[in-house]
Amino acid sequence: MLWLLMPVMLFAQPENKDVTIVASGSGGTLEDAKQAALRSATEQAFGAFISSKTEMFNDVVVADQMASVSSGNIKSFDVLNQDQLPDGRWGVTLKAIVSVDKLTSFVQAKGISIEIKGGMFALNIKQQALNETGELSAMSEMVGLLHEAMQTSFDYQINSSQPRSKDSGNNNWEITLAVTATCNKNMDFCANYFIKTLTALSLTAAEVETYKSLNKQVFPVNVSYAGNTMAFYLRKQTSISAINSLVSNWGFYTRLFAVQSGMDETTGNGEGRLHEFGNRGISFLSAGQSAGTFTWNDQRTLSQIEQMTGYSVRPLGVKSQFKHGGYVVQESNGHGFVAAVCDIGKMNWEAAKTACEELVMNGYSDWVLPDKDQLGLIYKALYQRGIGGFAGRWNWSSSEYDASSAWDFYFEDGKAYYYSKYRTIQVRAVRAF
């Protein structure tokens, strides 16, 4: 009878449902950054396999318990990359093995009714989907961490010519100025962190072949640094969009200087000749290398020249923040809103609203489509300053005009227009904090 019962017992025994997730996190300490990454891994597994309200992740205590190795939800993890940023924060990328069975039991023990999403027999497919979701989350986290570090990655020098007369009366003069941006050691940190993160996320050669055999696209990225060129293969077009967001900020990063004359101070000067940071791949510089030169003619009167003590240049430091999951657009008394790190695609108005509401990025799931007033603020705070890598000139707003039309925003002239909701244009999500 024991032999007869054994097959039944083996069949009834549930298989362990484990998934492997690469996740990133940041924090004031190394331990905080690890915990944030583990929380991200747990939330991704939760979202992939369990249908339930996600408000429990807004409870930091419960979220930390779910992401604890001691709870059994996280069976093990390996740190792939950990570094302390120039501002003292820590960034971590790790590979975690999450037990879906334990996670299900944990949630049920909290008294939450759940429904398992789909059959567990599709575990391999869900694992691929998790890898794709985790990749975008980690890429967005990386861009956010590097955004402020890149703003402090340059030292500046200024050279000036002798004044040249502009008229026969000797009242108007011009002085040619040239400011050179030279990379400092923070640029080396950014390059190494970028490469380590992509190394942790990249598909292996075998995985590339598997993706191709499944008729799924892969997205190559070439990175050059310190005389070496490396090829990485990513899973999602939106991951490339996140990288392009960082690349598109290059002009903003290099121009963060102020010129002082002894009587006044000016910023944003000159026409720039810049290193091609994102041409046919990503080309990082090393400390001591020139990132760009800005030249212009400073127009002065004789009385102004008499007051001047000479030109000097200083770095402006961090002028754009990335926190609460995105680029800060507006903040007052600790509250405001941020824009997501990149566009999430081109779609019609109804699809745009749904895509934003379903978006999970940088650990937040409360993204929405911006209204037209918020897009106006994004235009001034980000687009006009060359921040954010906006892919399209037109962006949907959540503001309706009538039953069949909604307002969109044209970044070329900074104005809102209304069009049919069936029109397909770019979408950028926002969230309040």
Encoded amino acid at 246, one letter = L
- Write down which residue in 280, 315, 350 finishes a domain: 315
Kindly state whether residue 126 falls inside one of the protein's structural domains.
Answer: no
Dist. CA 72–CA 42, nearest whole Å: 11
The residue range of the domain holding 297 is 153-315
Encoded amino acid at 420, one letter = S
If you average pLDDT over residues 194-204, what whole number do you get? 95
Domain count, the chain: 3
CB atoms under 10 Å from CB of 48, counted, come to 19
For residue 343, pLDDT beyond 80: yes
Kindly state whether residue 410 falls inside one of the protein's structural domains.
Answer: yes
For residues 332 and 425, membership in a common domain is answered with yes
Q: What is the pLDDT of residue 28?
A: 92
Q: What is the pLDDT of residue 422?
A: 97
Contacts 24+ apart (CB under 8 A), 262-269: 262/307, 262/308, 262/309, 262/310, 263/304, 263/307, 263/308, 263/309, 267/316, 269/177, 269/179, 269/294, 269/296
Give percent helix, percent strand, percent coil of the chain, each to the nearest 5.
35, 35, 30
Q: What is the pLDDT of residue 230?
A: 97
**Which residues lie closer than 8 Å to 281 by C-beta, 6 or more apart?**
221, 222, 223, 224, 229
**Higher per-residue confidence, 127 vs 192:** 192
Kindly state whether residue 229 falls inside one of the protein's structural domains.
Answer: yes
Q: What is the pLDDT of residue 66?
A: 67
For residue 41, pLDDT beyond 80: yes
For residues 187 and 87, membership in a common domain is answered with no
Q: Which residue has the tokens 């227009």?
A: 417
For residues 368 and 424, membership in a common domain is answered with yes
For residues 333 and 192, membership in a common domain is answered with no
Kindly state whether residue 136 falls inside one of the protein's structural domains.
Answer: no
**Nearest alpha-carbon partner for 245 in 257, 235, 234, 253:** 253
Q: What is the pLDDT of residue 353?
A: 97
Q: What is the pLDDT of residue 68?
A: 65
For residues 172 and 25, membership in a common domain is answered with no
For residue 367, pLDDT beyond 90: yes
If you average pLDDT over residues 394-416, what whole number do you get? 96
* Signed CA dihedral, 179, 180, 184, 186: sign only: positive
- Write down which residue in 98, 118, 138 finishes a domain: 118
**Nearest alpha-carbon partner for 272 in 179, 133, 346, 366:** 179
Q: Are 373 and 330 in contact (CB under 8 A)?
A: no
CATH number at residue 356: 3.10.100.10
For residues 27 and 172, membership in a common domain is answered with no
If you average pLDDT over residues 409-416, what whole number do you get? 95
For residues 299 and 328, membership in a common domain is answered with no
What 8-state DSSP symbol labels residue 212? H
For residues 26 and 51, membership in a common domain is answered with yes
For 230-251, what is each residue's pLDDT tens digit? Answer: 999 999 999 999 999 999 999 9
**Mapped to the 3 state alphabet, what secondary structure does 120-163 carry?**
HHHHHHHHHHHHHHHHHHHHHHHHHHHHHHHHCCEEEEEEECCC
For residues 82 and 161, membership in a common domain is answered with no
Dist. CA 40–CA 17, nearest whole Å: 18
Q: What is the pLDDT of residue 11?
A: 33
Q: Which strand (E) or helix (H) includes residue 232?
A: strand 228-234
If you average pLDDT over residues 2-24, what whole number do you get? 56
For 68-85, what is each residue's pLDDT tens digit? Answer: 666 678 889 999 999 998
Pairing state of beta strands 219-225 and 282-283? parallel
Kindly state whether residue 147 falls inside one of the protein's structural domains.
Answer: no
Q: What is the pLDDT of residue 264?
A: 94
For residues 304 and 209, membership in a common domain is answered with yes
Q: Which phi and psi angles does 217 have, rounded to 5°?
A: -85, 145
Q: What is the pLDDT of residue 339?
A: 98
The mean of the pLDDT values for the chain is 88
pTM recorded for the entire structure: 0.83
Measuring CA to CA, how many Å separate 273 from each of 149, 296, 314? 22, 12, 19
- Helix, strand or coil, per DSSP, at residue 211: helix
For 80-121, what is each residue's pLDDT tens digit? Answer: 999 998 889 999 999 999 888 887 777 777 666 666 665 555
Kindly state whether residue 269 falls inside one of the protein's structural domains.
Answer: yes
For residues 309 and 174, membership in a common domain is answered with yes
Under the phi-then-psi rule, with left for phi > 0, alpha for psi from -120 to 50, and beta for the rest, what region is 348? beta
CATH number at residue 32: 3.30.1660.10
What 8-state DSSP symbol labels residue 319? -
Q: Which phi and psi angles does 28 have, rounded to 5°?
A: -70, -25
For 282-331, what is each residue's pLDDT tens digit? Answer: 999 999 999 999 999 999 999 999 999 999 999 999 999 999 999 999 99
For residues 303 and 180, membership in a common domain is answered with yes
- Write down which residue in 293, 315, 337 finishes a domain: 315
**Higher per-residue confidence, 262 vs 2:** 262
- Helix, strand or coil, per DSSP, at residue 33: helix
Q: How confident is the model at residue 52 (pLDDT cuts 50, 70, 90)?
A: low
For 269-286, what is each residue's pLDDT tens digit? Answer: 999 999 999 978 999 999
